[in-house]
Amino acid sequence: MKRAESINHVINTLKKEVKKFKEPIVTQYSHKKNPFKVLISCILSLRTKDEVTGKASKRLFSKADTPKKILKLKTKEIEKLIYPVGFYRTKAKRLKEISKTLLEEYNGKVPNNYNQLIRLRGVGPKTASITVVYGFNKPYFIPTDVHVHVIANRLGWVEAKNPEETMHELMKVVPKKYWYNLNSLFVAFGQNTCVTISPFCSKCPIKKYCPKIGVVRSR
């Protein structure tokens, strides 16, 4: 089967399959069209499990959901609100630095430009692309986290060493009509079936499209 045909079958199958899952753990994707919340929750998600990120984001935004409000909080208070996300002390400082920059240089607004976003301290390609796509509803990229990276490589759509490389390679082979939804589909699928370690291959609805069956240690 040609790769393009495989991509169509996989995505259409997953659109039906994810409806059967319990509500997926949400992080930055639950804040669509709110650029600041998308940006901040994505920063919190780095090196952190989805469930931890979701709870930390909820605690933080209950106290401060704008750059101005973030700056009013003491760094120690932010640390307590976002703990136990990975590198929570460093991230607490980053949130204040980013909030200050947004107020001083962008009138308190998150820039909708990828190149401007990536210049913010602590913001990398993944965070910048997710903010543009989901914060501003501009599907110019395929946001690629660990779920997208792992699943796309298992399916053989790309052969890449890291999420950033996977994103660029996916954009060469995946039709643009699928770019916006690919991340949310793969995140839900990655949380429930094609998990990073020991995926549930025996119950996978797209295993016939996966060349890694029998290669990846599965359940």
Q: What percent of the chain lies above the pLDDT cut of 70? A: 93
Model pLDDT, residue 159: 95
DSSP collapsed to 3 states, 162-174:
CHHHHHHHHHHHC
| Domain locations along the chain | 3-24+141-209, 33-135
CB 213 within 8 A of CB 201: yes
Model pLDDT, residue 179: 95
Q: How far apart (Å, rounded) are the C-alpha atoms in residues 42 and 166?
A: 18
pLDDT at 215 over 80: no
Mean pLDDT computed over 19-36? 70
CB 82 within 8 A of CB 59: yes
Model pLDDT, residue 33: 81
Q: How far apart (Å, rounded) are the C-alpha atoms in residues 58 and 131?
A: 18
Nearest to 135 by CA among 28, 51, 46: 28
pLDDT at 68 over 60: yes
Q: How far apart (Å, rounded) are the C-alpha atoms in residues 117 and 46?
A: 16
Model pLDDT, residue 49: 85
- Kindly state which CATH superfamily the domain 33-135 is placed in: Hypothetical protein; domain 2 (1.10.340.30)
CB 171 within 8 A of CB 4: no
Model pLDDT, residue 212: 78
Neighbours of 173 (CB within 10 A): 12
**What is the dotted CATH code of the domain comprising 3-24+141-209?**
1.10.1670.10
pLDDT digit string, tens, across residues 72-106: 999 999 999 999 999 999 999 999 999 999 999 99
Q: How far apart (Å, rounded) are the C-alpha atoms in residues 217 and 219?
A: 7
How many residues make up the chain in this entry?
A: 219
Helix axes 88-105, 75-82, angle to 10 degrees: 120
pLDDT at 206 over 70: yes
CB 144 within 8 A of CB 170: yes
Q: Which of 18-22, 106-110, 209-213 has the highest mean pLDDT?
A: 106-110
Tell me which residue has tokens 């992080």.
Answer: 27
Mean pLDDT computed over 159-173? 95
Helix axes 179-192, 146-154, angle to 10 degrees: 90
